[in-house]
Structure 1
Amino acid sequence: MSNTGVAQRLGVAVLTISDTRSIETDTSGQYLVEQLKAAGHSLQDRQIVIDDVYQIRAKVSAWIAEPAVHVILTTGGTGFSGRDSTPEALAPLFDKHIEGFGEVFRALSLQEIGSSTVQSRALGGMANRTVIFCMPGSTGACRTAWEGILKEQLDATHKPCNFVGVLNTART
């Protein structure tokens, strides 16, 4: 992966997957918005969809095709409860899977929540040179992912490598 050595503003979309949250009660989505803006990135869109494979897939597919969106962050739908369906919705869209994201997320999470981390199906992938990271719905899980992985991997100055150099930022 390349590294340009300079900070680069990325266009980011945030999707909360929940049957119960609204913009006013979505603390996880709000946390991600605040962190991406603090890091110098641009919020391109923020939406909430119910935990439905086709609604999730439709929203993310539209963002994958949008030239201004380089990164998609999702929160929710990665567990094992009845309607959790984010992995089933999004994994088929990936051109490449980022196995390391889920592995590192669970390793970090193990320190915080113990063996309960085995129930996390956090995942990442790339589609149309857009990177997609799917996190659990809790604000704590989003904080773990942002602080432990995403903040550095979305920073062009992070060495020895980061995702910025492989994103299709020339589309914007």
Structure 2
Amino acid sequence: MKMNDKVVYWEVQRQRQFWVWAIVLLCTAIMWYGFIQQIIFGVPFGNNPASDGTMIVIWVIFGVIFPVVMLGFSKLTTEVRHDGIYIRLSPFHIRYKKFLFKDIYDYKSITYSPIKQFGGIGIRINMKGETAYNLYGKKGIELKLKYETVVIGTQKPDEFKEALDVVCNKQK
């Protein structure tokens, strides 16, 4: 393992908000109800029902795949290594997205509102051009890069910032 590959800080966040779970499960329940009503009992679902084939496809996507991905596989992994910060929002990022220390000119621990500042959770870009990567909570590390500002959500802002301080001081 190269020195740049050594992980100094590691955190994994998962969906924990009640309201996210409620919305996903409500959508899932409606899809299951429509599937059972139309496919199993033969009663068309809704005022303008889809064909049985379309209903099966919609049910597979929104009744099975969507809840499994959103509630089961969705996670934000954050790593601080000797050359930069690596994040991965699964299942949307296949590889880690990296923010190299040579491109970061400032960072700080912040408290923010994901809903007010970015319009929600996940990968979000606000009207100021700032990008947020967040799944849970309102604490984060704000990175000032050459051409953009990035906020990475964290449940352990002190540990995250401490790891950044340690690695950045070694590089100076």
TM-score after normalising by structure 2 = 0.23
Higher RCO structure, 1 or 2 (CA under 8 Å, sep 6+) = 1
TM-score after normalising by structure 1 = 0.23
